[in-house]
Amino acid sequence: MQPYATVLNKMLFGLALLYWAPIQAQVIFGADIGTASDPQGAIFRVIDGEVSSIQTGLPDPRFPSVSPPGNLLVVSSPDPAQPGEASTDLFAHDLLTGQTRQLVDNVTEEQPDGSFLFASPLFSATEVNGQRVAYVNQLSSSSPQGGGSFRQLSVIRASDGFDLALAELGQGNAIDFYQSEFVGIDWSPVAPVFATPGYVPVTTNTGRETVAAGIVLFGETGPGAFGRVGQITQPVVTDLPTQIIAETHAFPAFSANGERLAFFRITYPSPLMDQPAQADLIVIDISTGAGLIVASFPAGNYPLGVDWGPNDQLLYFSAGTQINEGGQFIPAAIPGTAQMYSVSPLGGEIGQVPGAPAGYFPTAIPLPRVIFQGNFEG
């Protein structure tokens, strides 16, 4: 992959001198509002410590993602035109015009046995040129014999939601209970491919063949077709006499020059999920695979997204308390406990986002450069 080249044209007009102010960033993120018994999703932005709400006109917006230029916000939300609809839909909100449009209209389907099939959009990402959106739909059945739930990875047209391709059907509960497929999506800034976790073959330390979720690349495999075109990371599964330790990789995020990838390594010490998971934030060089751990969480803190700041000098990330249901630690965090942090991609001291310590799925967008003009008279 070739990195982007950025050209800045500097002009002098007479005695006027132009000075470029340092690039700053706004961070767009999700956070829960309302009460503990009735939490509602909401979208915010923070600039220089000042937080403001983004009014999408949608009820309970969730799973926010922002296009690389910062103009398009994609969220999952109940359909305001059908408030009683159990399935949720995918919407695009133009941050420049304030207009919101529906991209995917999920419809709850009644099955022949009287059960229902529900659909809910989760993670999404918009291509750098703004043409396509990759997203994952969670499909669940209300029937005890319905096979639980599984995920569907698709690519749609960003302008109108036209279905371009089904990239992959997930395995669901057929493999594990970690729900580790398609957790986070990001398009490459230098190629028409996107990265997301998918199951890949793994050989354990005892020689046992299994699978775990690593970061894989999806791209066009033919006219109207998307599929796997590469693999970036390789997870590890360790067999011990009394336990199986499995790691999965989640929330991939490309640096702006496309040369590095940030992601979370989530380690499960028990396939029964009776122990909390432990997560590390890792940055690797894509061409060599070499990398380092830049942040580690105590067990029971579950990641909720990561993104690169301006000039790839900073990482913004989030984590919250892992959900514990009856002694089982499920692969998710309590949104209301999510905290946002920052750290250098080279490691070091961990900070917080000024003005916005709480939130999830942060996306950093550079603010336009500010030009100051000074006139000097002789």
CATH code: domain of residue 330:
2.120.10.30
Residue 336 CB: number of other CB atoms within 10 A?
Answer: 16
User: Quick check: is 262 in a domain?
Assistant: yes
DSSP type of residue 358: B
How many domains, in total, are found in the chain? 1
Once rounded to an integer, what is the mean pLDDT over residues 269-288? 94
Within its chain, how far is the Cα of 271 from the centroid? 24
For residue 207, the model assigns a pLDDT of: 97
CB 195 within 8 A of CB 186: yes
Spatial CB neighbours of 57, under 8 Å, sequence gap ≥ 6:
80, 93, 100
Distance CA 292, CA 303 (A): 17
pTM (2 d.p.): 0.89
| Residue 3 domain flag | no
Cα–Cα–Cα angle for 113, 114, 118, rounded to 5 degrees = 110
Tell whether 94 is covered by a domain. Answer: yes
Q: Rounded mean pLDDT of the chain?
A: 88
**pLDDT tens digits, one per residue of 215-258:** 999 999 999 999 999 999 999 999 999 999 999 999 999 999 99
Position 43 pLDDT exceeds 60: yes
The answer to whether residue 367 is domain-embedded is: yes
pLDDT digits (tens, 9 = 90+) for 4-25: 232 223 322 222 333 344 567 8
What's the per-residue H, E or C state across 175-210? CCCCCCCCCCCEECCCCCCEEEEEEEEEECCCCCEE
Residue 38: give the domain boundaries: 24-375
| pLDDT for position 168 | 97
Is residue 189 assigned to a domain?
Answer: yes
Distance of CA 48 to the CA centre of its chain: 23
Burial grade of 60 (CB within 10 A; 0-12, 13-18, 19 or more): middle
Decide which of 212 and 148 is more confident: 212
- For residues 219 and 252, is the Cβ–Cβ distance under 8 A? no
Q: Is residue 6 part of a domain?
A: no
Residues paired with residue 373 on neighbouring β-strands, in sequence order: 18
